[in-house]
Amino acid sequence: MNIKDLVTSTRAYNLHSHTQFCDGRADMARFVDVAISAGIRHLGFTPHSPIPIDSPCNMKKEDVKAYFDEFNRLKGIHADQINVYISMEIDYLGDMWGASHEYFKNLPLDYRLSSIHFIPSQDGELIDVDGSPSGFIEKMQKYFHNDIRYVVDTFYNRTTDMIEKGGFDMIGHFDKIGFNASIYRPGIEDEAWYRKHIDNIIDLVAARPLVVEVNTKAWDAPVGSNDEAVKSYNPRLFPSAPTIRRLHEAGVTLAVNSDVHYPQRILTGRDAAFRIIDAI
């Protein structure tokens, strides 16, 4: 599968979705039905990959066969209505685990999405920094000694390593740390050292045949959200609109994905993202 050709030829796609095999809130069949009704003609399944540490959000290795079996069943049933693709959102955990690992090379995936969710604390413990702002603030004190500069630097250093090791086709929400970091310390994304990280990542992806995801998951607060901090920072995209402009100027191919966990949110933020891209 050539992602670049797909995302430059149509907008009727979503290549980042999470179902019952990880932390998604509905089964694959339901996502297919909703995608068809919403006019999506290309749907990619990307469960959070198996990883060698405990995580409530990641699929288990023992469930991979069942995932492939269900994918093949749905592909056969809906072949005349929608194109479905099998993938994973592969966590990069440093030298120990990532898209370039032999395990993923041997899986017959249509494409590979790679993202950073975990970074090591100063004590070496891998911590998920991708959760809610309230949880992030608690982890800042519990695991990171309230050193936001360490967290951001480590996140982007890991992103750099992930890109250089390769093994994937599309990078997911590469500046998402900015969401929680900006709630923890407002204005941090405008600081020169932070912008330098973004510039470095853009240079790296521009030199490679990678697609960069424009992730629309946080365009509006989830239904029922009581987290006022989340609401105060909506709407936004990952990467941010100024970064999208710089990516465009660098000639990077963009893919608009909703990182959907709830079927009813499969189109969340997509029209807005395309309007922003069109304006650029």
The CA distance from 107 to 93, in Å, is: 18
- Lowest-pLDDT range of 7-11, 129-133, 159-163: 129-133
Residue 17 forms beta bridges with which residues? Answer: 260
Q: Using alpha carbons, select from 23, 46, 33, 45 the residue that is nearest to residue 130.
A: 23
Residue 254 sits at φ, ψ, to 5 deg, of -110, 145
pLDDT at residue 230, as a whole number: 45
Q: Which amino acid is at 176?
A: K
Given this model, what pLDDT does residue 236 score? 86
pLDDT of residue 235: 76
> Quick check: 52 and 13 in contact, CB under 8 A?
no
Distance CA 68, CA 32 (A): 15
Q: Kindly state the percentage of the chain with pLDDT values over 90.
A: 92
Pairing state between β 42-45 and 170-171 = unpaired
Confidence grade of residue 87 (pLDDT, cut at 50, 70, 90):
very high
For the CA atoms of 87, 115, 129, 13, what is the dihedral angle to 10 degrees?
A: -60
**Maximal CA-CA distance, the chain:** 54
Evaluate if residue 97 carries a pLDDT over 90: yes
